[in-house]
Amino acid sequence: MQHSDIITKVSSSFDNALKTGDLLFFPSTVENHIEADVEYQIRLCPALQNKPVLPTPHFEIKNLKYDPFAPPYNANLLVGELKDVESQEEFVVLLNKYAVVPRHFLLVTKGGDNSGASQAHKHIQFIPLDGDDGPPIERVARRTQLEHQDRPFSLTQLAYASHTYRFPSRLDTYPPEQLEALLANAFLQLLDLTISTIRHDPDYPAGSPSYNVIITLDHLHIIPRRQENYILQESGDKLSVNALGYAGMLLVKSEEELEIVKRETIGKILRGVGLASVHDLQVEGTSLEAPLAGL
């Protein structure tokens, strides 16, 4: 299939999978919450309290009993398959079985045990968002005035380490080879800073470094991580924080948990599973924060 075919098919595939019961959609409400001039979104979804909890796979075990990203695929969750013309790498596009946002889908490698990430196959999640503003992290990034357009910068008002690269305008007009080079260069620059940030932390857990990657039409963000969950001090409950949390969109399962998160503060939670910023030691003079109008 072509990329355009995949995009065209997502909506009808979602509707069909929902109708057949192969996909579960959990309605939710969104509350905007401002901290340190950042307008976060907290999505409340009580129905997630009934979602099955799957253990995080341990990839040193070669024969996983269950891999949701391996064939045979659920036909109603399968949107299509893609192959890179040059590398001949193969990918599969699957709908998210437990959807909080409509038309949430994943691009998954057909690799094996060494493809990494939180499942046994490396994957990217695609989340459609209403409006033109994008996720909260984008609003912060857009306010940042750059002295050097081709260098990474830090969103200094955030409570945790975050490295960002701004794409040039009209990226959609770039030929594939130029686009690939630009994206690879941006990713490698941010990855170097991310690894450097981790190396500055004397208490970072042993093993491979962890980080989240967020890509929008305007920016690429990489955020170093130290752990998967945050323990809420007030309740002692675990709060799972995935890449969407670092996009500024947290997910809670109850009104009580929502209020606890606001009292604990989102900045503290994201810093708790992330790292302290040492960006000033790494790259100096790359950005100036613009006035925070309208917040």
Q: How far apart are CA 127 and CA 76, in angstroms?
A: 19
Q: How far is CA 131 from CA 128, 134, 135, 136, in A?
A: 10, 7, 10, 12
Which DSSP string do the residues of 111-133 spell out, in sequence order? --GGG-SSSSS-EEEE---SSSS
- Residue 206 and residue 269 share a domain: yes
Q: What is the pLDDT of residue 121?
A: 58
Residue whose pair of structure tokens reads 């208490």 in the numeric block: 203
pTM above 0.75, yes or no: yes
Q: Which residues of 155-181 are buried (b: 16+ CB within 10 A; e: fewer)?
A: beebbbbbbbbbbeeeeeeeeeeeeee
Q: Please report which helix (H) or strand (E) contains residue 8, including its range.
A: helix 3-20
Longest dimension (CA), the chain: 55
In a domain, 171, yes or no: yes
Tens of pLDDT along the chain (295 residues) come to 788 889 899 999 999 999 999 999 999 999 999 999 999 999 999 988 776 554 444 434 344 445 667 778 899 999 999 988 777 888 899 999 999 999 999 998 877 443 334 445 577 889 888 766 789 999 999 999 998 888 999 998 899 999 999 999 988 899 988 999 999 999 999 999 999 999 999 999 988 899 999 999 899 999 999 999 999 999 999 999 999 999 999 999 999 999 999 999 999 999 999 999 987 777 654 444 444 333 3
E-strand spans in 135-183? 144-146, 153-154, 163-166
Q: How far apart are CA 40 and CA 175, in angstroms?
A: 35
In a domain, 117, yes or no: yes
Among 113, 128, 143, the domain boundary falls at: 128
Kindly list the strands in the beta sheet with 90-95, ordered across the sheet, starting from the edge strand earlier in the chain. Answer: 78-83, 90-95, 105-109, 123-126
- Residue 136 and residue 245 share a domain: yes
In a domain, 295, yes or no: no
- Residue 254 and residue 146 share a domain: yes
Among 128, 157, 185, the domain boundary falls at: 128
- Residue 164 and residue 228 share a domain: yes
- Residue 226 and residue 96 share a domain: no
Q: How many domains does the chain have?
A: 2
- Residue 134 and residue 119 share a domain: no
- Residue 281 and residue 237 share a domain: yes
In a domain, 55, yes or no: no
Phi, psi at 115, each rounded to 5°: -85, -5
In a domain, 47, yes or no: no
- Residue 274 and residue 207 share a domain: yes
- Residue 177 and residue 164 share a domain: yes
In a domain, 42, yes or no: no
- Residue 11 and residue 74 share a domain: yes
Q: What is the pLDDT of residue 1?
A: 78
| Two tokens, residue 197 | 């940030």
- Residue 172 and residue 140 share a domain: yes
In a domain, 108, yes or no: yes
**In CATH, what number is assigned to the domain containing residue 136?**
3.30.428.70
In a domain, 44, yes or no: no
Among 91, 111, 128, the domain boundary falls at: 128
Q: Which of 42, 105, 58, 57 is nearest to 239 (CA)?
A: 42
Domain hosting 262: range is: 130-289
- Residue 167 and residue 111 share a domain: no
